[in-house]
Structure formats: C-alpha cells, structure tokens
Structure 1
Amino acid sequence: MNPGDYEGLNDSLTEAEHEVEIYLNKQYEELNVGDVVAKFSKAPFGWDGICTLYVVNELVRRHRRDYSYSNNPNVEVSIVANRLLSETNKFTIRPAITISSEVINGFIAAWKNIFGVSESFSTTDSTQLFRLSREKENVRSVENVVARYKLLYKDIAAYSFSAPLDDMVTLLEGWLAERDPLKYFRRVIDEQQQARTLFDTCKEVVQFVQDQMGNYKDVLHFVRDNRDNFSFVPVELHEAVTQLMGIENATWPIGIRTYMKLRNTLAGAIDAKRTELRKQISEEYAKTYAQLEQGCKENEVSTSILSDQEVIVKLKTQSDSIPVLQTNLDTNAFFAEQTAKILAAKPKPKPMVGDDKNKKEETFDKKYPTQVALSTRTTLPIGSEADVDKYLAQLKKQLMAHIDKGETVMIIK
C-alpha cells in the first residue's frame, strides 16, 4: 500500500468489494477464503476465482479484513503473494483490528526518537508499518539491526565493553517476538527511551571498534604480556598498574587515551628495569668468564673449551620477563658446569722415570675435585677483626669437612 491509495475518491468500497463485505458480515468471525471463492463463483455472481481473490485482497489492504495462514494470524506479504492462489484453502479471513491513529502516530514518533528522523517511514498504514519496521527486506528494519549487532557482538563478545550490543539485541528480539501489531506498536512506544539510550551507546561502541580496536588490543596484550613484570615497577607506579589492569574487565565507556598513557608510563619503567638487569647479567658473566679463564690457565687447559661468552650473554639477556632476568643473574650453575669441563680436560700427569735400577711407573688415581657451595650468610653483623676470624673459621670448618675425607674441593659459590 502506498500513501493516498485509499484516500479521497478511493476511500469508498467498489461495488464488488461492497458485495463481498456484506456476505462476510453475515458469517462467523473467521471464514475460509476457499468458501468465499466458491460462494461468488455461483449465480447470481459467477466470478472467476482470481477475481474474487482480488476483491478479498483489496478488503485486506483497506484494513477491513485480515488474513490468517495455517492458523497464523500474522501473515507476511510474500506468503500472500506466493501462496494465496495455490493454497487458497489454507487462508482464512476475519474482521481487521483497527489500530487508532494515536497509536500509529505514537509509534512513528517513537521510531524517529530511537533511530533518527532519517530512518522514519513514509506510510502511516499500520500493516505496512508493522512489516517495514520488522522484516529483513527493509534495510532499516529491526531484524536487520539485530543481525548487524549480532555479527559485531560475535567478534567482540570476549571483551566486557561489548555488553550494550547484547543488551540491544535482547531488547529488539523481544519486539520481534511480539506478533500482534497493536502490542508491538505499544511496546516500541513504551520502551523507546531505553531503546534510544542503548542505540546511541551501540553507535559509540561500533565507532570505537572501527577507530580504536587496534589500540585497545595493543594495551590489552601489554597487560597480559607484563603481568609478571608489574611487581617490579617503582612503588609510586603501583596505582597506575592497578588502573591499567582494569582494562580487562572494563565496561563501556572505555577511556582508551587514559589506558594508552598508563601503558606508556609503565612500559618505560619496565624497560628501564630490564636494561638494568641486562647490564648486571653482562657484568656478572664477564666476572665469571674471567675466573674461568684463570682456571683454564692454572690447569693448562685451552679457553676454547668454554662456551662462547657472547652467545651465553645473549641467551641470558634476551628474555622480556623480569623474573627470568633476575634468575639469570645467578652464574653459579654455569660456573660449576664450565669448571667441570676444565677439570675433565686437564692433562694427566706423566709417569716418573729413574735409572734402570730404580725405574718405575707411578700410577695416579683419577680424582676430580668436589664442587662445594659454601654457606656464606651470617646471622650477626661483622664489626671487628675477631668477628672476621670467627667468620673465616666457619668457612674453614665447611672446607675441612670435605678435605678430612680425602677430597679436594672446588668452591663454586
């Protein structure tokens, strides 16, 4: 139906429509359309079935009558167009429910309030409004809004700020579930303020996803990648850490610029700590290699048996995890491993040779030093020469416990 189709001169029923209307008014509330066709195919009318269906359809278009199809009182236009002729007996016709102009105008005003004036419809016909505002054939329909928001929500459902999209879909699906036109119009009118607020929020969410989703994900990845590093930033930044970590469960609206500023501040602090630790690791390994090289010299072993210093330092400093870098500061295990290689490569002593009378060959038992980690911590402060002597005596006691058993020792810590 188009505006003006049944206004002015067209407002009155045609003679054929009047005859069918008189007949229908004498029948029960609901009548099978096939029976109407059969009635008017006989004398004194003798109408062809297509003609009768046309007249019945005009009464529906004038809102004097409504169709039902297979007991469904809300029949889509496409079903009428495609099946009325071939499945006439599945259609029934009943008096139409008149929807007041007050409700119609209220619905149109509510629609404009929710979706904007540009999204309004050009018709005031209740049947057309019901279908145009709901069915997917119209790009502005509720069904299409639901489809768009569902698709976007599927992509971002893992993020808490997506909740408005889900809330809007739930609200609109409630409208679509309302199959009675009058109840539908009234529900839209009653819920228009809630719908407008949600729709405006959803537009903001959509714009955010289009413009800022990359920044949001960058910040989120930073938080997740540095969760173990945050405890090492200065105390004055602990509040910033708490605020930044809130992004994972933050609801709409998202203050992305604030989060990006916090990220940049904390990234600087974390990088500074990494740089400090990497420098300390390099220094510790430089000291360790100096000791190992001295050990090679003392044991007449080539330094080539040692692991490549540059490779080891690179390996120990490449992690972005501050806890891992702190662990890598301890070179004791590496020192013990390399010392074992030096001792294993140490040349064996040569046999002793004397004159023919005393010529003999000494044999040496293969004996490797025991690697010892001394307990060097103290429970009391050292403040005098006597304290130093006492401390050294404790170290000596630990060493002699091994030597007295016939062991030689190599201190690794």
Structure 2
Amino acid sequence: PAEERLIRDLGMYKKTEKYIRQNISTTQQDAIRRILSDKGVRNQERYADIQQSVKTLLGQARLIVAGADVDVGGEDPQSRITKGFYELIERTYPNLSMLRGIEYKEIDLSRYLEGSGLDLGDNLSEQEQEVLAFIQSNQRGGVRTTLKSTLEKFERKPYGWYYAAILCTVAMLSTRGKLELRSDSDILEEDPLRDALLNSREHGNVVLEPQVEFTASQVRKLREFFEDFFDAPPKSTEAKALGKETAEAFDGLVNSLERLLAQADDFTFLSVLRPELGKLKEIVGKPYTWFLTELGKQEDELLDLKEGLIGPVQKFMGGNQAQIYKDAKRYLKEQESNLIHIKGDEADQIRAVLNDPACFKGSRIQQLKTHLDTLKQKIDEEVGAVRQQAITQLNAMQTRMQSMDEYKKLPEVRAAELDLPYKALIDHINLQKLIAVINDSLRYFEEQGYQTLLANMVEMAAPKPEPVEADEEKPKSRVAEPKVEYISTRKIRVAFDKAWLADEADVDEYLQQLREALLREIKVGKRIQI
C-alpha cells in the first residue's frame, strides 16, 4: 500500500548515509566526528524502522494472479508471498498435480525399470496415461516420438514436470509393457535402456512406441504353457513381463542342457539331446512378443519334446540313476581283464543297457543294477578263488623248499631270508583284484623267483672253501666250480607227436619221452624245478 512516510524516511536514510560517508573521512575536528557518528547510529535505527515498515506493508499488500486477487491469510510477508507463488505455479501448470506430490530422482530410475516397489497389476496412474496418450496420438498422426520431444512436451505448460519425473514415468510405462524404446531399430532393455534414459545426448535418437496390446487369451495360453513346460508357475502376470520371463526360462533351459551334453563322454545316451538342443537354440533370442504370438504354433511339439526327452533326461541325471549308470560303466572298465574268466552274460547285458540311447526311460537302469550286483558277486568269488589257489600253491612251494636238506642246514636268520619273499608275494596277491595280475605274479615267481631262491639256498648251505696260501715259486691255480642252473618243467620240451593222450599206450609213450627229456637236462648239470 502507498505510504508517504516510508518514502520520506527512505530519502532521509539515503541522504544521511551519503553525507556521513563523504564527510567523516575529511573532517579533522573531534566534535564534528562525534556528531557524524551519532547521526550514523540514528540512521541505522531509521533503517530498522524502514525494514519493519516494509514488512508490515508487504503483509497488507494485494497479491494478484491472472488479473484476480489471491486470498492469502496472515500478515507474515514471506509466508504470504510463498503461498502466492504456489498459486501462480498451480495456475500456470495445472497438470503438475498429476505427479501427486511424489518425489522422483534419477538415482531411482533403475528401481522403476526393475519394477521394484511398482505394483504392475494396478491401473495406470494419471501421469502415465497422459504420457502414453501423447505418444499414441503422435503415432496415429504418423509423428515419430523421441525421448527428447517427450521431455520438451511435459516440461512446458500446462505440465511443468521436472526432468527426473518424466524419465521415471517413461521407465514405468516401459516396465508395465506399455511402451517400447528403440535406438537404431533395436529394442532397448535392461542396462542399455537405463543408459539411454540417462544419456541426455542420445535422447533425440531414442524412439518411443506404444506396445502392441495382447489379448487376455494370449497371456493365459502362455502362462499355461510355461507351467506345463517348466513345471512351475510364472511369476509375471503382465504380457511383456511374462514374455521376457519365458524367454529367460528357455535361455536357462538351453544352458542346462548344454551342461548335460558336455557329459556325453560319461553318459553316451546324452548325445540324443544334440539335435533337439539345436531346435531350442532357435527359440533363444526371440523378442518377448514372439512368445505371445508365435510360440503357440510349436506348443504341441515342445510339450512332446519335454515329456518324451527333456523331462526324463533331467530326472535321470538329477537322481541316483545317473550314479548307477556311471558306476556300471566304470566297473566294466576296471574289470575288463577279469570278464574273460567269468561265466554268464551279465557283462553283455550291462553293455546293452549302457549303449541303449533310451536307457534313461522305463526300468532299464533297475535291470542294469540287478545285472551289476550279480556280476560283482561272481567276480569277487572268482578273484577270491584264484587268490586262494595262488596262495595255496605258494605255500606248497615253500613247504617243498623247507623240506630240503640244504634249507634245514641253514641258521634261522638265513632261513627267514628265504621265507620272506613268500610272505611279500602273498601280501601282494591279497591286494590284487585282477585275476590276470595274480596269475602273472605267481607265474613269474614260479619261473624266476623260485629258482633264484633255490639257488640262493644251495649257495648258502654249501661250505665255504678254506683260503689257500700261494707259494711264491709255485703258485697254485684253482678251477671254479660250475654254477648250477635251475630250470622249470614248463621249459622242457617233450617230443610227442600227439595233441592229447587217448589211451594207456599214449600215456606210456609220453612218460618215456618225458623221462628222456628230464634226463637230458640233468646230464648237462641242470636241476629241474617241480
């Protein structure tokens, strides 16, 4: 309001301030300096009165917005002016209230893109409807809508929305599946989408397009397929989220089957996955819209594939049947040299199951387990019998050696040295599980070790020759005794012209030939091991 005294006081304040500033530094008289200082103090008091007067008058001032008075109560000028500007903003940007007072921040953009804290089942908010209607209107008119044009639209009257609010609204519409954002014709999703929204230099290249509407029937069919094929209900109910979840589930399935296929060296039947895996890989990478519109054409084929192959294989590999298969294959490999000594067709039956590309179906593995248990029992019994036979034979050889006069002449220490190899070989045989190894160990001992022991025994028992003093004029030469050679009866060849003995005459003839062969070896100084 007009106030004559306020104007007069302002004039006096400014005149006094100027006069004091001009004269206080030039005067040399103390009295004048004191008068100017007093005037300065009173002028500051006048200034405080002016401030209070202005505050009072502002509290009484009329506030006018759009040519009309604004009814704002109270006398505090700052509060009245703030409320007046609120009224100005509300009249200038009537659509600002669509934001409902929610504070949007750029750092929250990832949360809106992920749908965190966003109930996707709710209806669109007013601000979302406004942005979507703008984009749809442009599309109907053939106008290309970019993120930049959207920001410009909603930052101006009558909206006045701020930057972060517009970006978060676009992000919510994208998460709800109402908008698609493209850059260079590529659909933006996840990290590329977030980066595109935050990079203001690229906003002119980011195109906003309304998402194709899907029918409730399409969504329902995809949900039913998902539950039947992946044995679990989907988490999503909205079309876009459901399509993306299905795409991710197929990607996970392919990765899982690839890991199984990598084990084909251990599980031969897994090679049947290879051609079917190629079909599934054709699905991976499809846009989410494909799962809602095109997947139904392959639905029956995929469900048959799941029921006839993928499901049984996954169940087989996830249970104890895989371990039974692996144990059987490993056992056959370990016992390969023992199998020729075993009667029965259990090994062939096991191989047939292992080589069957459909062994993961039905009760084939239960049959394999039965054959495997029977084969293990037979092999254990046969290995035990061969081991016991070898030990018995070794004991017999040791007994024969101990009954010889040369052995009886030896002191206990020397006799223990000769007995030690028998114990070592018996311990070795007790640890062996392969029949061929047991037989080879026994055969080598019979042909080599036993002869060496007998020769050592004779040498130990033979008296040592007394040392002879040499005559310097007539040195005596000593002839070394020939070393006795021991041979096994297996190395003696009998000149007999028949493959078997058929009657008593054959026996007599063979024995005569054997006697002659034995005598020939003895006459040349050899000893024959029996």
The answer to whether TM tops 0.5 is yes
* 1:388 and 2:525 are equivalent in the alignment: no
Q: Which residue identity does 2:448 align to in structure 1?
A: A
Question: Which residue number corresponds to residue 336 of structure 1?
Answer: 451
Following the alignment from structure 2 to structure 1, what is the Cα–Cα distance between the partners of residues 131 and 417? 111
Following the alignment from structure 2 to structure 1, what is the Cα–Cα distance between the partners of residues 173 and 509? 116
Following the alignment from structure 2 to structure 1, what is the Cα–Cα distance between the partners of residues 169 and 504? 119
Could you tell me which of 302, 325, 335 is aligned with 2:438?
325
Q: Which residue identity does 2:222 align to in structure 1?
A: F
Q: Secondary structure at the match of 1:66?
A: strand
TM-score normalised over the length of structure 1: 0.74
Question: Is the CA contact 2:179–2:208 (under 8 Å) kept in the aligned structure 1?
Answer: yes
Could you tell me which of 55, 59, 66 is aligned with 2:180?
66
Question: Which residue number corresponds to residue 176 of structure 1?
Answer: 284
Following the alignment from structure 2 to structure 1, what is the Cα–Cα distance between the partners of residues 450 and 168? 99
Following the alignment from structure 2 to structure 1, what is the Cα–Cα distance between the partners of residues 280 and 122? 31
Task: Figure out how many residues of one structure are paired with residues of the other and give that number.
Answer: 385
Q: 1:121 to 1:409 in 2, by over 3 A?
A: closer
Question: Is the CA contact 2:268–2:354 (under 8 Å) kept in the aligned structure 1?
Answer: yes
Question: Is the CA contact 1:281–1:317 (under 8 Å) kept in the aligned structure 2?
Answer: no
CA displacement 1:153-210 (0-9 Å, x = unmatched): 667873234457777765554323112x333334432333343344455454444433
Question: Is the CA contact 2:135–2:210 (under 8 Å) kept in the aligned structure 1?
Answer: no
Q: Which residue identity does 1:342 align to in structure 2?
A: M
> Which of structures 1 and 2 has the bigger CA Rg?
2
Question: Which residue number corresponds to residue 526 of structure 2?
Answer: 409
Post-superposition offset of 1:42: 5.7
CA displacement 1:268-307 (0-9 Å, x = unmatched): 2222222222232123223322332344538955544423
Following the alignment from structure 2 to structure 1, what is the Cα–Cα distance between the partners of residues 233 and 332? 42
Following the alignment from structure 1 to structure 2, what is the Cα–Cα distance between the partners of residues 305 and 377? 39
Could you tell me which of 384, 392, 412 is aligned with 1:275?
384
Q: 1:119 to 1:349 in 2, by over 3 A?
A: closer
- Between the aligned residues of both structures, percent identity stands at 12
Greater Cα shift, 225-234 or 205-214: 205-214
Post-superposition offset of 1:3: 3.2
By relative contact order (CA 8 Å, sep 6+), the higher-ranking structure is 1
Q: 1:12 to 1:377 in 2, by over 3 A?
A: farther
Question: Is the CA contact 1:67–1:91 (under 8 Å) kept in the aligned structure 2?
Answer: yes
Question: Is the CA contact 2:223–2:233 (under 8 Å) kept in the aligned structure 1?
Answer: no
Question: Which residue number corresponds to residue 132 of structure 1?
Answer: 245
Greater Cα shift, 153-162 or 277-286: 153-162
Question: Is the CA contact 2:132–2:210 (under 8 Å) kept in the aligned structure 1?
Answer: no
Post-superposition offset of 1:229: 0.9
* 1:33 and 2:147 are equivalent in the alignment: yes
Q: 1:290 to 1:57 in 2, by over 3 A?
A: closer
Question: Is the CA contact 1:37–1:49 (under 8 Å) kept in the aligned structure 2?
Answer: yes
Following the alignment from structure 1 to structure 2, what is the Cα–Cα distance between the partners of residues 305 and 79? 83
TM-score normalised over the length of structure 2: 0.60
Question: Which residue number corresponds to residue 374 of structure 1?
Answer: 492
Post-superposition offset of 1:24: 4.4
Structure 1: state its 5+ residue gaps: 136-140, 352-360
Following the alignment from structure 1 to structure 2, what is the Cα–Cα distance between the partners of residues 389 and 15? 119
Post-superposition offset of 1:226: 1.0
Q: How does 1:12-411 map to 2 (within 5 A)?
A: 14=129, 17-28=132-143, 30-38=144-152, 41=155, 48-50=162-164, 53=167, 65-69=179-183, 71-73=185-187, 75-76=188-189, 79-80=192-193, 83-87=196-200, 88-116=203-231, 118-121=232-235, 123=237, 125-135=238-248, 141-147=249-255, 158-162=266-270, 171-179=279-287, 181-200=288-307, 201-208=309-316, 209-234=318-343, 237-238=344-345, 240-251=346-357, 252-253=360-361, 255-297=364-406, 300-301=409-410, 303-308=415-420, 309-330=422-443, 331-348=446-463, 365-372=480-487, 373-376=491-494, 378-380=496-498, 381=501, 383-384=503-504, 388=508, 391-393=511-513, 395-396=515-516, 399-400=519-520, 403=523, 407-411=524-528
Post-superposition offset of 1:109: 3.2
Following the alignment from structure 2 to structure 1, what is the Cα–Cα distance between the partners of residues 349 and 272? 22
Following the alignment from structure 2 to structure 1, what is the Cα–Cα distance between the partners of residues 136 and 409? 120
Q: Secondary structure at the match of 2:182?
A: strand
Q: 1:212 to 1:377 in 2, by over 3 A?
A: farther
Post-superposition offset of 1:262: 0.7
Q: Secondary structure at the match of 1:367?
A: coil
Following the alignment from structure 2 to structure 1, what is the Cα–Cα distance between the partners of residues 477 and 127? 135
Greater Cα shift, 377-386 or 324-333: 377-386
Greater Cα shift, 44-53 or 218-227: 44-53
Bigger helix share = 2
- CA-atom RMSD in angstroms: 4.1
Post-superposition offset of 1:248: 4.2
CA displacement 1:359-385 (0-9 Å, x = unmatched): xx9955321223343124743337456
Post-superposition offset of 1:242: 0.6
Question: Is the CA contact 2:353–2:364 (under 8 Å) kept in the aligned structure 1?
Answer: no
Following the alignment from structure 2 to structure 1, what is the Cα–Cα distance between the partners of residues 132 and 140? 12
Q: Which residue identity does 1:409 align to in structure 2?
A: K
Q: Which residue identity does 1:315 align to in structure 2?
A: H
Q: 1:207 to 1:114 in 2, by over 3 A?
A: closer
Q: Which residue identity does 2:516 align to in structure 1?
A: K
Following the alignment from structure 1 to structure 2, what is the Cα–Cα distance between the partners of residues 43 and 11? 17
Post-superposition offset of 1:410: 0.8
